[in-house]
């Protein structure tokens, strides 16, 4: 077990490319921040699975049903791995993390406070949300100083990249399909564009400890900007309209400039007051309670 004399000593270790392991005597500030970040990630994977499950029974084909099952299984699998990594940090057990999630005491990504209204929302999630999550997670994986998290992220990023490509394939079918399909996706785009952009969060604070400790490798605004530059032309290319009246391309740089982001919807999700927060959590709480007898009988965690 490694120890450090103080935060400066620990920072020198990280600046030199050091990697922290679960059994290190890491500073409590680092343990607390990294744990909170991983718990948030785990919660988001789990709640993302619940967002996607709503449309699996209606998948328009048996192979598509298998594919979306496998995708959602990946998300639940990510949650499973992340809860184990988080639990090893000895801040909370897995049961405590899930209890806190269901009690509304911990958070998950803004996008999973929204409801998938149609099958096209399922595709918008795969194309837009998974891509945003992929960009965000890849940026964490790049330098992440917490070893157990970095090793898990290698797998997660790989699978999310596959989901993203599958989303693009599904979108291509919608874009080249009937007017019904194009209209369906355009409506979904109007619901999911801003939540996907907001997933990156507001601009990173100058003293963001996760950047200082190399858990995150890039600032939120930089990732968000890169995402917009990539996805606006892609969506235009598929014949869809990005729902931003102020969106324009800078004549000199060629960069896409968005309207000012309204952060109120994101803030609402932070207090579980998003459009579908109440239903999503209530369903999760009910399902969890209804199967408590079984977990107790075989002595397992949730």
Query: What is the contact surface with another protein in residues (CB under 8 A)?
Result: 46, 49-50, 52-53, 55-66, 69-70, 72-73, 76-77, 79-80, 83, 119, 173, 177-178, 180-181, 184, 283-284, 287, 290-291, 293-302
Q: How far is the CB of 58 from another protein (least distance, A)?
A: 4
Choice between 264 and 298, CB closer to another protein: 298
Question: Residue 90's Cα: distance from chain center in Å?
Answer: 23
* C-beta of 33 vs 160, nearer to another protein: 160
> Shortest gap between Cβ of 57 and another protein (angstroms)?
6
Q: How far is the CB of 112 from another protein (least distance, A)?
A: 11
Give CA–CA dist 60/37, Å, rounded.
Answer: 36
CA separation, residue 264 to residues 48, 179, 273 (Å): 21, 33, 11
Question: In the complex with another protein, which residue's Cβ is closer, 47 or 215?
Answer: 47
Q: What is the DSSP letter of 204?
A: P
Task: Please give the backbone phi and psi of residue 166, each rounded to the nearest 5 degrees, phi first.
Answer: -65, -40
248 bridge partner residues: 257
**Distances, alpha carbon 95 to alpha carbons 251, 253, 276, in Å:** 54, 50, 24
State which residue, 125 or 197, has the beta carbon closest to another protein.
125
What separation, in Å, do the N-terminal and C-terminal C-alpha atoms of the chain show?
Answer: 30
123 or 266, CB closer to another protein? 123
Q: How far is the CB of 181 from another protein (least distance, A)?
A: 5
Write down the least CB distance from residue 98 to another protein, Å.
9
CA distances from 81 to 15, 31, 37 (A): 27, 18, 14
């Amino acid at each position: 077990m490694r120890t450090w004399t103080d935060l400066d000593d620990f920072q020198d270790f990280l600046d030199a490319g050091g990697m922290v392991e679960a059994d290190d005597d890491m500073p409590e500030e680092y343990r607390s921040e990294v744990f909170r970040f991983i718990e948030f990630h785990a919660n988001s994977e789990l709640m993302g699975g619940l967002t996607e499950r709503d449309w699996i029974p209606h998948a328009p084909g048996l192979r598509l049903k298998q594919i979306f099952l496998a995708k959602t299984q990946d998300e639940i699998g990510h949650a499973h791995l992340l809860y184990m990594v988080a639990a090893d940090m000895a801040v909370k057990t897995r049961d405590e993390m899930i209890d806190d999630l269901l009690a509304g005491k911990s958070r998950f990504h803004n996008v999973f406070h929204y409801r998938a209204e149609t099958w096209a929302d399922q595709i918008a999630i795969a194309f837009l949300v998974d891509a945003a999550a992929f960009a965000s997670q890849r940026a964490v994986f790049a330098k992440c100083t917490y070893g157990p998290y970095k090793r898990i992220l290698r797998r997660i990023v790989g699978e999310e990249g596959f989901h993203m490509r599958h989303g693009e394939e599904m979108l291509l079918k919608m874009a080249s399909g009937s007017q019904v399909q194009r209209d369906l996706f355009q409506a979904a785009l109007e619901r999911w564009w801003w939540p996907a952009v907001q997933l990156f969060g507001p601009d990173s604070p100058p003293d963001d400890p996760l950047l200082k400790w190399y858990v995150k490798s890039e600032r939120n605004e930089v990732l968000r900007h890169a995402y917009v530059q990539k996805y606006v032309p892609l969506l235009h290319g598929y014949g869809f309209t990005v729902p931003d009246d102020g969106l324009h391309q800078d004549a000199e740089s060629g960069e896409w400039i968005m309207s000012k982001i309204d952060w109120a919807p994101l803030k609402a999700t932070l207090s579980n007051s998003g459009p579908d927060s109440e239903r999503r959590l209530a369903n999760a709480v009910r399902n969890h309670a209804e199967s408590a007898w079984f977990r107790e009988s075989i002595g397992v965690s949730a």
